[in-house]
Structure 1
Amino acid sequence: MSGRDVRPATQMQAVVGLDPQVAEALRARLAEVADRVVLTIIDEVPSYAGAFSGRMGEVIRNAVQLALGGFLTLATRQDGKAPPKAPAIEGAYQLGRGEARSGRTVEALLAAYRVGARVSWRDMADAAVEAGIGAEQLARFAELVFAYIDELSASSVAGHTDELESSGRVRQRNLERLARALLTGAPADAVNAAAERADWEPPGALTAVVLPESQVSHALTALDQRTLQPTDDVAGLPEGHALLLMPGTGSAGSRPTLLRALRGTDAVVGPGVPWLEAAASYRRALRCAALGVDGLVDSDEHLASLVLAADASARDDLRARVLAPLADLRPATAEKLTDTLRSWLLNHGRRDAVAEELFVHAQTVRYRVGQLREIYGDRLEDPAFVLDATLALA
């Protein structure tokens, strides 16, 4: 049998050696018993309602008949040597795989086996008694029935488990390929094809979340189940951190919900973007993480800092040009005038606000602004210079 080894709870030890007339009576009833098993499963196990129409129904019917035929062959042996059980065991294994692909749970599968065991035993025991089976032989017959069903069900469970593990691995690989396609900017048709292969329904928007690996499990419990978690090497991701691509937050109303779900983490949340543009959200989350802000960080609240940090060397050059007129002053004086110029620009020239921010008297502000006017002249009224100075000193 393919798949894992099966070790049923009950090993078949009983030797029945059915009398020929009893075996013939049972064989004549096999098709009838198989049909009754199928009908009773449909009636008593809700997951199987409508399951016996189409190809999968034929597979299940064939598996029932194969199992019953294999059992009867086993029960009629006279020498105690069990005939090969491989066809029935392999059939049960493949049945389990098929049931997993059909979406039925292992609990539903075992329930079907319990029903099948009960109906098979009742009908076959009735037929055996009518054919004159002895009491001792009937007891061994019962033992063999339930040991055989136990082995078949164990084989089906193994098939069901193997199929889930196999399909889960395949889907995970497809989800990895989808995430890689999104992050590397693959063409839209390639990304859509990857989403289809992964059986992943694209949302309207995706939001990149960068957080420590140790906090991923906590975050995933509160996030959309379609959240992508690339585990392959992700370019630019800091050591010890993970990336999640979470569906949603394309609207302002849903963003607070996401932030509440991530409360208690050190996540950096990128912007919500159209799902095919997820790489842009990831890039911004990375830039925001580089700002060094502690705790939960919403990149939407740090847009100005992100703009100012976009080209650090250009900002340094701009700052040097704006402050060049102060270069010949004593360092302490230059520092005080720099602080005053910054506050004066950001507070729109409101002297009291500047004084409060710098913890100095309003007259001191007046004096320093006078010094700045002497040094910079009309440039303090030039919108282009005001813009440059604001960006350089912000």
Structure 2
Amino acid sequence: MARRTARRGGGDDPHALELSPHAASAMRSELPAVADRTVAAIIDEVPSYADALSGPMGETIRSAVQLALGTFLNLATRSDRGTPMAPALEGAYQLGRGEARSGRSMEALLAAYRIGARVSWRDMSRTVVEQGMAAEDLSLFAELVFAYIDELSAASAAGHTEELERTGRVRSRNLERLARGLLTDQPADAVVAAAERAGWEPPAGLTAVLLPEAHVRQVLSHVDERTLAPTEDVPGAVEGTGLLLVAGPTTKAARARLLGALKGLDAVVGPTVPWLEVATSFERALQCRRLELPGTVDSEEHLAEIVLTSDRNALADLRVAVLAPLDGLRPSAVEKLTETLRSWLLHHGRREDIAADLFVHPQTVRYRVGQLREAYGDRLEDPRFVLEATIALGIASSGPESPT
């Protein structure tokens, strides 16, 4: 008659099972071989571990398997159910963290656990049966094995998740610091060091894009993954407006794709500049936004307006000075002569072109130009005055509301 190799445990747990020392000794002697077979099965069945387990990582996993199985045997052979699981659980937790740092998914590790449970159960069950375990105890033994593996899996999953969250938080903070350094003109060596700490590979160029904050995530899915999306301490930030420092685009075609990704949004796109100079792209985008143009705006197409409105107070003063000779006339007359002077400057005095621009008869143009010559005299032939008047009046009808 086969000797009994297990007995029901006492205490509060009706499912407790305690292996006899003789059976446990036989199983413990098998641990190195079980660990080897487990590692071999994982290598064979989980592609992510095909190379990882052939070197030092393989020894780490093999040791972890032996530790886990050894802890299980200690639990299964002691009547004291308080046998500590902490070392095995801590090992599983750290294993999960290590896998996250290695870039492997939790799915791969859970697959390894499932394979480990299968191989371990197959080998251990064979051993306890050979040692005479009664049939009624075999199912309970299986429950204990797989419940134990579940606890280890949960510990690894917790470690994996926490490491991803921690490294994600750290990298996000480093990327925020990098963006702040770029936008506040910190020394180049400090910004380069910040990029290294963030694990961020600098692109050839960066492009500042202002857009509705609610659409930042949507646009991020269409641009280079190195794109920065700062949210903290953005200079000149306006509530509801987000900022992207888009990696690239460095070609006309790439810029067109970026503008296409922004289609339908009230967005402003700055120029593409070397990555360390992106503060200038950001400043240009801010200046362009002040033009209050609708839709998606390419700042490169509005350089003249940006230049003319970069100092609105100076532009307003210049406008007042240029129109001073018209002081004293009726407001309606000032308005007509101002638009005539602007068109005269832009069309180089060509009467027919001016008439078409203003939708008036050429004789009306001749009359108004005569009034202008009476008011301004020889100044209309002075290159300096022509330059100042062109600047003062040049965007009166194509830009935002004229300064007054």
TM-score by length of 2: 0.91
Q: Show the counterpart of 1:31.
A: 32
Moved more, 313-322 or 201-210: 313-322
Q: Secondary structure at the match of 2:231?
A: coil
Q: Where do residues 133-152 of structure 1 align in structure 2 (5 Å cutoff)?
A: 133-152=133-152
Q: Is the 8 A contact 1:47 1:108 kept in 2?
A: yes
How far, CA to CA, are the matches of 1:14 and 1:267 in structure 2?
A: 65
Q: Report if aligned partners of 1:75, 1:141 keep a CA contact under 8 Å in 2.
A: no
Distance 2:317 2:382 in 1: 20
**1:41 maps to which residue?**
42
**Distance in 2, Cα, partners of 1:159 & 1:95:** 7
Ranges in structure 2 where 5+ consecutive residues have no aligned partner: 1-12, 395-404
What is the identity percentage for the equivalent residue pairs of Structure 1 and Structure 2? Answer: 66
Tell me, in whole angstroms, the C-alpha distance in 1 between the residues paired with 2:157 and 2:134: 34
Query: Where does residue 391 of structure 2 map in the other structure?
Result: 391
- 2: CA distance, partners of 1:104 / 1:332: 75
SS at match of 1:285: helix
2:131 aligned partner? 131
CA contact (8 A) 1:343 1:354 kept: yes
AA matched with 1:111? A
Return 15-24 or 333-342, whichever deviates more: 15-24
Q: What is the CA distance between 1:130 and its match in structure 2?
A: 1.9
1:137-192 deviations in Å (ceiling 9; x for gaps): 22221111111111110110111001000100010010011001101101111111
Distance in 2, Cα, partners of 1:13 & 1:292: 75
Per the alignment, residue 284 of structure 1 pairs with 284
Tell me how far apart the structure 1 counterparts of residues 157 and 313 of structure 2 sit (CA, whole Å): 63
Separation of aligned partners in 2, 1:221 and 1:15:
53
Larger displacement relative to structure 2 (308-317 or 248-257): 248-257
- 1:69-88 matches, within 5 Å, as 69-77=70-78, 79=79, 81-88=81-88
Q: Deviation digits for residues 18-72 of structure 1, max 9, x if unmatched?
A: 1232111111101110111011111110000111245433332221111010111
* Other-structure match for 1:252: 252
Q: Tell me the alpha carbon deviations over residues 182-230 of structure 1, each in whole angstroms, 9 at most, x when there is no partner.
A: 0110111111110011010100111111112122122222222211111
| Map 1:1-394 → 2, pairs under 5 A | 14-77=15-78, 79=79, 81-394=81-394
| Structure 2 CA distance for aligned equivalents of residues 295 and 227 of structure 1 | 22
Give the secondary-structure state (helix, strand or coil) at the position aligned to 1:117.
helix
- The DSSP-based 3-state class of the residue aligned with 1:17 is strand
Superposed displacement of residue 383, structure 1: 2.3
Deviation of 1:272 (Å): 0.8
SS at match of 2:272: strand
| Cα distance in 2 between the residues matched to 1:142 and 1:212 | 57
Determine which structure has greater relative contact order: mean sequence separation of CA pairs < 8 Å that are 6+ residues apart, divided by chain length. Answer: 1
Deviations 1:317-345 (A, max 9, x none): 22122222222333322221111010111
Structure 1 segments unaligned to the other structure (5+ residues) = 1-11
Helix, strand or coil: the match of 1:270? strand
Q: Secondary structure, in 3 states, of the residue corresponding to 1:246? A: strand
CA contact (8 A) 1:182 1:276 kept: yes
Structure 1 residue 377, shift from structure 2 partner: 2.9
Which letter does structure 1 place at the counterpart of 2:85? Answer: K
CA contact (8 A) 1:59 1:95 kept: no
Equivalent residue letter for 1:264:
G
Comparing 377-386 and 33-42, the one that deviates more? 377-386
CA contact (8 A) 1:267 1:295 kept: yes
Aligned 8 A contact 1:113 1:149 in 2: yes
- Corresponding letter in the other structure for 1:284: R
Q: 2: distance between equivalents of 1:308 and 1:230?
A: 30
Aligned length: 382
- Deviation of 1:118 (Å): 0.6
- Using the alignment, how far apart are the partners of 1:319 and 1:276 within structure 2? 37
Once residues 192 and 54 of structure 1 are traced to their aligned partners in structure 2, the CA distance between those partners, rounded to angstroms, is 34
Amino acid at match of 1:218: Q
Cα distance between partner residues in 1 of 2:231 and 2:58: 39
Which stretch has the larger CA shift, 147-156 or 332-341? 332-341
Contact 1:37 1:116 in 2 (8 A): yes
TM normalised by structure 1 equals 0.93
Counterparts of 2:48 and 2:309 in 1: how far apart (Å)?
A: 58
Supply the distance in 2 between the matched residues of 1:28 and 1:305 (Cα, whole angstroms): 84
Q: Is the 8 A contact 2:209 2:245 kept in 1?
A: yes
Q: Distance in 1 between matches of 2:225 and 2:14?
A: 48
CA distance in 2, matches of 1:267, 1:13: 67
CA RMSD of aligned residues (A): 1.6
Query: Deviation at 1:240?
Result: 1.8
Instruction: Tell me if structure 2 keeps the 8 A contact 1:45–1:108.
Output: yes
- Cα deviation, residue 267, structure 1: 1.2
CA contact (8 A) 1:34 1:64 kept: yes
Q: Comparing 354-363 with 47-56, which one deviates more in the overlay?
A: 47-56
Tell me the distance in 1 between the aligned counterparts of 2:191 and 2:123: 56
- In 2: Cα distance, 1:28 partner to 1:251 partner: 67
